[in-house]
Every structure is written in C-alpha cells, then in structure tokens.
Structure 1
Amino acid sequence: MNLGYHQALYVLPFDHRQSYVTDMFHFKPPLDATQRDQVIDSKQLIYEGFRQALTEGVPFDAAGILVDEQFGAAILRDARQRGCVTALSVERSGTDEFEFEYGADFASHIEAFDPTFAKVLVRYNPEGDPALNLRQLGRLKQLSEYCQSSQHKFMFELLVPATDDQLARAGGDKGTFDRQARPLLMQQALHVLQDAGIEPDVWKVEGLDLHADGERMVQIARRGGRDQVGCIVLGRGADEAKVRAWLTVAAGVTGFIGFAVGRTSFWDAVSGYRAQTLTRAEAASQIAGRLREWVGVFEAGRLSHRPGTA
C-alpha cells in the first residue's frame, strides 16, 4: 500500500460522543432509547448541513465527514454509497488513554463500514507518563499495521496535553504553553510515533501560530521517504477568529492539505435547533455556511502563497 494522502481534504468532524452527550444534551450515560434517538437525529442534522454545502460550492472530491459508529452508522453507510470521503473513529470516547472502542474486534467494525480513513484520536505527550505512552504505542502500531494490510487509509489526530510541570513552566497559562512549548512537543511526538512503526497517511494536528512551525511539522511527517503524507489542521472548538488564523497559517505550508473543523462548525447550529430558535433548515444552512467559510479561508490562504501571487 502506498503511504500518504496528498489531495485536498476538507473534513467536517462530528464523531464527538462522551462530551457531546453530556455538554450538548446534558444526558448521563447510559442513554435510553429516546435519548439515543435525539443524539442520532442531531448528527443527521449535521450531515444534512454537510450535504447542503456540497450543493453550494464545497468541492465534492475534497470534502469528507468524520463520524462515529455509535450514533452515525446510517450516515457512514449513506455517505459511502454516495462516494463521499468518510472517516470512522476507532478510539474509545471519554478516556485519556487510547483504547479501541470495540477492543480486539476493532478490525471487523472498520471492515463493516469500509471508510476511506480509520481515524484515531490520541493524547500523547513525549514528556508524559512513560508507561502510558508505551501502552498506547503498542495499540497504535497494531492499528497502523492493520490499515496497511487492509488497504484502509490511517488518519491520526494528535493532541498534546500539557503535563503539570509543563504548564507550571508556562506560568499556568495554556495559551503560553500552546505558543512556546506545544509546537516542539508535537514535533517530538511525530518522531517517536514514526520510530515506533506507526505510519499515518494523514496527521490531524492542533493549530499552529507560526508558518515555520507548520513547515517543520510537514518536514517530520514526510521524512524518510514519506513524501506523500499529508497534514490537516483541527479546530479544537476554538472561536471563529482563532480557527481562521490557524487555517491561514496551515494553508501557506506545502503539505498541509486541508482541515477538520467540527464544534466551531456545528455547535451553535445544533444548540439553536434544540432550543427551537432555529428551524432544522436554518440550522443545516448555518452548518453548510460554516464549512463553506473554512474552505474559502483555506483556499484563499493557499492561493496567496503560490509563486507569482501578491
């Protein structure tokens, strides 16, 4: 299997589960049938917004969805039937340590939906708990090897949470940690993960404020013959201004092929629909508009960095 994915990739992620259920719906798991249906319907609403965006100019070949099996099985099947790029989350939600959602049976669940990407979210700090990191590396290598043997692309969402010591060195300020420490830790994490035999086709990474940090991320992602590996930037639930800034930085770096912006795209729309301040059509249109906005920002940023442009 050829490693990498280098075409444009504009993802609407709505695979949120534990935090989505508790923060959006204020439900306490386990859910009853009525509660489950409400969550499923809200994800269908987000998908309706995605499909509307495709009719309004978001390029079909570049657009994709990331959703979970628990609440989005019907969406995954429909999107695949339509020929959309799909990504299926395989990690257990609501845990700090990466574990498979379906344990040793993870492969059969991927095969059942045959997504473009098997996606994993991992919290990995190279200066964190060594035993925790080692356990995660073992599971991640298992997934990486499965993806390579099964012809499924592998999307790796890397989050680097600050340790207590790192946050203290940043004066207790997460913004300072993000600017001064996180970029280097992200780079170190990529090195460690690659050296452990973990080979994503796409790295889904937290936003960077400096062009040079983005370039360094791509250099590491593509080192050692990994020339076709792509990077996309995630939104991390940030406000519109921050998302725009991260998209603009990423768009200017060759090797960043797109983005995955979720909560900033759909949260207000779903909240408004649940509060009955938005109709379903209005909520879907708002989601579609957000996705169009992110595509516009990214493509404008990419265009402005082409040779010969102002």
Structure 2
Amino acid sequence: MYESQIPDHLDGAINATGVRVDVLNVLGAGDAFMSGLLRGYLNDESWQQACDYANACGALVVSRHGCAPAMPSKEELDDYLSRAESVARPDLDTKLNHLHRVTTRDKSWGHLCILAFDHRSQFEQMAQDAGVSVSRISPLKQLILNAYQESVDELGLQGQAGLLCDSTYGQAALNQATGKGWWIGRPIELPSSRPLELEHGNIGSQLVSWPQEHLVKCLVFYHPDDEPELRLEQEKTLEEVYLACCQSGHELLLEVILPKDLPQDETNYIAAIERFYGLGIKPDWWKLPALTASSWSQLERVIENQDPHCHGVVLLGLDAPQEQLIEGFANARASSLVKGFAVGRTIFGDASRAWLAGTIDDEALRVKSN
C-alpha cells in the first residue's frame, strides 16, 4: 500500500504480512479483505493495522465454507489476530468457532415471560385421569396458546413473549407462534428419560427441518454424584446435542434438574454446570429451578468466567404453588443472569384437567388460563 507517490521499488510501500490458512473456499475473500481494511480506516488506525485486519478477515472467510455468513465479528477477529500463527485451521478451532457462533447472533433478549406447555407425559396422564383420548391434547394446547396470545396483547408483552412447546402434541401451536418474533423453544428429550434419550431420534436429522428461530430445549436429570457409567452416557448425549446445534445454528437451552433420589443441595447445580463447561458444552441458555441469592451470585461468576456471551437463565416452575414461585422470583431479582421465567402447569394445570374432564368449556379454559 502506498500513502503518497509510488516509489520505484516495493520496499517503499507499507507491507502487511499475510496469515497462512488452509483454503476451503475462495468466495468472499475480497469483500472480507475490504471490510477489515475499512475497520482500521474508519477508526483512524494506522494503515499497517488496517492491512492486518484485512488480511486476517480474508483468511478467516476462505478457511470456512460460506461467504457472508463466514465474516468474522470484531471480537472474533481480535482473538484470531492474537494467535494467528498457531491457528492453521480456523474452521477447526473451538474458541474461534464459539466466538463466531455467539457474536454473530441476530437477536438479543431482555426480560422474558415464557409459557411452558411442552409437557407430554403430564398431559397424557391428565387425559388418562379424565378418561379421554390423547387426541384431545392437541386442541387443548391450541386453546392454551390462544389464551397466552390474549395475555401478550393485553399486557403489551411483545418482545418479551416466549413459549416452550413440543411437536408431539403442539405442532399446530408451534406453527401458529412461528414468525411472531417470540422466543420459541422445543424439547428434544424423551420425557423422564434417565439416562437421557432423544424423543424423535437423531438430533441432526431433526434440526434440518426446524425453523432457525426455534431453540433446542434439552432437559437432563443429572447429578454430579451419578454413577460414572450413567454420568458419562448422559454427557456423551449432551455433547452430541451441543455439537449438532453448533452445526445447524440453532440456539440450545439446557435444562438441569437434580434427580429426586439424590441430594438436593444447590451446590450440586453449580457443580453440574461447571462440569458441562469443562466438557466444552456452552449452551446459549440455562433453565434452572429457583435458587437462593447466594447461589445466583456464585453461578454468575461461573458463567461469566466460562462463557460471558451466554444469554442467561430462565426459571422453571415445576408445577410449584404461586407463593413458592413468587419467593423464587424475589431471590432471582438481583441477578442480571436471570432473564425471566418459563412457567406452565401452575397457570393452566387445573383448568386443563377440568377441560379434559368436560367440566368447563373453551371459554372457561381461556379465562382460567389467561
């Protein structure tokens, strides 16, 4: 690069050393180079620095399959430049891939009010108790969604609205909610499975048909004191789920519940989350039960240290009484980590049982679930 008159020899120019990468794709190299150069130029940095940005941007894009989606973010680019000589294959570098995944998200979330009605076995039990077919569950979920929509409209919750709903009985509800700009999570686990099993088989083949806006929600009954064989089996499944989400671009919500037959001390939640991070599993969201204020503070430190780009935590309800939920919400208020709640049966459980039993009609269900 020449700042003024072109000299007679190349040594008089500004020379920026390139970086070596394995080239997987040449599309977008020029655009990437120019974006890096403009970063330096528009920030009044030196031409030498601008050229370093440019070379690194081009190298990252050609080292990946894709064009515009392969463009690095500022944080990702800076990390690469800090250690480019040791990263011959950026496409295989775990840290770079994670930074690319989490710093190129197209949406961030504030407070969330999530309606959780992704239950399957619980609704099946309700239907059995009422003596009706499970075919009644799908229209019930549609009615629950309609009641929630009314609440969103009445309370002005657009931008904070979300739902957890399954495809087994709630596909129609999922279809209706998609495209509204809501936070939408879908479960993949076989209900109550321990060791963890996936309800509809291979996770990769499932995600191919999912809208990109749907989050993968995976519930695991896990305890740090689990028998080694059980623990390792569950961890292997979670690793596969996480890697599939990284490949597909879907965000992952990991829900952790301690098995009832093992110690329930809150420190076990902290230990479980530290274990998952140690395995390289970095979910975009956590879903956890209510904790004490001190445990939230401890968890904040863990997540900030391991993955500061994590969206945060949503509280689960577990069909708890409203008074207990209120207490849990109060403990979580001081934590910037907690983004909201995902509550379900506490709101619509009794009304759903009555509707399935035929003791209330659609309108009464709407009122009681609203």
TM-score range, shorter chain: 0.7 to 0.9
Name the counterpart of 1:187. 270
Aligned pair partner of 1:238 in 295, 308, 320: 320
Q: Alignment partner of 1:222: what SS?
A: helix
TM-score (norm 2): 0.67
Label 1:19 to 1:225 Cα distance change in 2 as closer, same or farther (>3 A): closer
* In 2, Cα distance between equivalents of 1:203 and 1:16: 18
Match of 1:294 in 2: none
The residue number in structure 2 matching 1:196 is 279
Output the CA distance in 2 between the equivalents of 1:116 and 1:219: 28
Contact residue 124 and residue 134 of structure 2 kept, 8 A: no
Matches within 5 A, 1:136-285: 136-164=234-262, 166=263, 177=264, 181=265, 183-208=266-291, 210-285=292-367
User: Do the aligned partners of 1:222 and 1:229 also contact (CA within 8 Å) in 2?
Assistant: no
The residue identity in structure 2 corresponding to 1:108 is: S
Q: Deviations over 1:44-74 (max 9, x none)?
A: 1211121111111151111111111110111
* 1:14 aligned residue: 117
Partner Cα distance (1:203, 1:225) in 2: 12
Q: CA deviation at 1:185?
A: 0.2
Q: Secondary structure at the match of 1:198?
A: coil
For residues 134 and 210 of structure 2, the distance between their equivalents in structure 1, rounded to whole angstroms, comes to 20
What is the CA distance between 1:162 and its match in structure 2? 4.3
1:141-177 CA deviation, whole Å, 9 max, x = no partner? Answer: 111111122221110111012445x3xxxxxxxxxx4
- In the TM superposition, 1:50-199 aligns within 5 A as 50-104=148-202, 106-114=203-211, 115-164=213-262, 166=263, 177=264, 181=265, 183-199=266-282
Q: For the residues of structure 1 that align with 2:237 and 2:200, how far apart are their CA atoms?
A: 13
Say if 1:212 and 1:6 are closer, same or farther in 2 by CA, change over 3 A: farther
The letter of the residue matching 2:259 is P
Cα shift at 1:191: 0.4
Which has the larger Rg? 2
Equivalent position SS for 1:270: helix
Say if 1:6 and 1:228, in contact at 8 Å, map to a contact too: no
Structure 2 counterpart of 1:129, which letter? E
Displacement of 1:6: 4.9
Q: Does the 8 Å CA contact 2:127/2:134 hold for their aligned counterparts? A: no
The secondary structure found in structure 1 opposite 2:184 is strand
Identity fraction in percent: 25
Mark the runs of 5 or more structure 2 residues left unpaired by the alignment. Answer: 1-100
CA pair 77-113 structure 1, distance change in 2 beyond 3 A: farther
CA distance in 2, matches of 1:101, 1:113: 15
Q: Unmatched 5+ residue regions in structure 1? A: 167-176, 289-310
TM-score, length of structure 1 as denominator length: 0.80
Distance 2:204 2:284 in 1: 18
Q: Which residue of 1 aligns with 2:127?
A: 25
- In the alignment, the residues of structure 2 paired with residue 63 and residue 259 of structure 1 have an alpha-carbon distance, to the nearest angstrom, of 11
Total equivalences in the alignment: 266
Rounded Cα–Cα distance in structure 1 between residues aligned with 2:201 and 2:279: 21
